């Protein structure tokens, strides 16, 4: 799956938006990605997840563990990715954690077992806080994270996974500006305010 094919799928579904956006953190940006707009389409979701699974298959740690591994994701955008990648890799199990009192937890009676080979997935990487919290949860449970990946890498800062192999279908850097120094404002581009939950 080429970069252009991924971008075409994101544009076609209107998940990739170009313009002038006020982010929830207060900064302004030239791009905004809302992955649920792409993941609502089965065909697009399947194509993207198969593409990510092919990257995983090229990783020696993953190739030797298959099919005896777990695909793990945070909610909510990570769940369709987990099912799509899990199906493509024919992984043994798929499960996700949910936020509970400021941290992620697996549901009662569900957990990673000591030594389980785990692949961590999500729809988009921005700050890395969610992936870091999920990594901590898996490692505290005794799981062995053999790879991590996202459909879209839009990280806004450096994010260190240590020696865990990391994959993404596409990297879409965004330009972020404080409102008082935003060239998009200076060019009088209409501002679209992004809300956390719409």
- CATH number for domain 3-193, candidates 3.40.50.300, 3.40.50.150, 3.40.50.2020, 3.30.1490.100: 3.40.50.2020
Angle at 197 (CA atoms; ends 173, 154), nearest 5 degrees = 10
- In the 8-state DSSP scheme, what is residue 115? T
User: Residue 96 burial by CB count (10 A; 0-12/13-18/19+): exposed, middle or buried?
Assistant: buried
Residue spans per domain, the chain? 3-193
Angle at 10 between CA 7 and CA 16, to 5 degrees: 95
Beta bridge partners of 17: 32
pTM of the model: 0.90
How much is the pLDDT for 42?
96
Closest CA to 189 of 11, 6, 31: 31
**pLDDT exceeds 70 at position 196:** no
- pLDDT tens digit sequence for 125-178: 988 889 999 999 999 999 999 999 999 998 877 778 889 999 999 999 888 899
- What pLDDT score does 198 carry? 40
Angstrom distances, CA of residue 190 to CA of 21, 37, 118: 9, 22, 44
């Amino acid at each position: 799956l080429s970069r252009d094919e991924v971008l075409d799928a994101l544009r076609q579904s209107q998940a990739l938006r170009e313009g002038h956006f006020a982010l929830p953190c207060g900064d302004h940006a030239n791009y905004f990605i809302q992955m649920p707009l792409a993941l609502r389409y089965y065909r697009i979701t399947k194509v993207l997840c198969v593409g990510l699974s092919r990257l995983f298959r090229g990783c020696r740690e993953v190739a030797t563990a298959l099919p005896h591994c777990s695909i793990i994701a945070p909610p909510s955008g990570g769940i369709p990715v987990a099912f799509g990648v899990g199906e493509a890799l024919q992984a043994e199990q798929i499960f996700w954690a949910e936020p509970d009192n400021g941290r992620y937890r697996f549901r009662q009676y569900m957990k990673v077992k000591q030594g389980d080979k785990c692949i961590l997935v999500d729809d988009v990487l921005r700050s890395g806080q969610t992936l870091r919290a999920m990594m901590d949860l898996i490692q505290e449970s005794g799981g062995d994270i053999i790879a991590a990946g996202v459909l879209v890498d839009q990280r806004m800062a450096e994010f260190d996974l240590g020696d865990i192999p990391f994959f993404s279908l596409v990297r879409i850097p965004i330009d972020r500006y404080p409102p008082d120094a935003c060239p998009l404002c200076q060019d009088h581009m209409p501002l679209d305010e992004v809300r956390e939950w719409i």
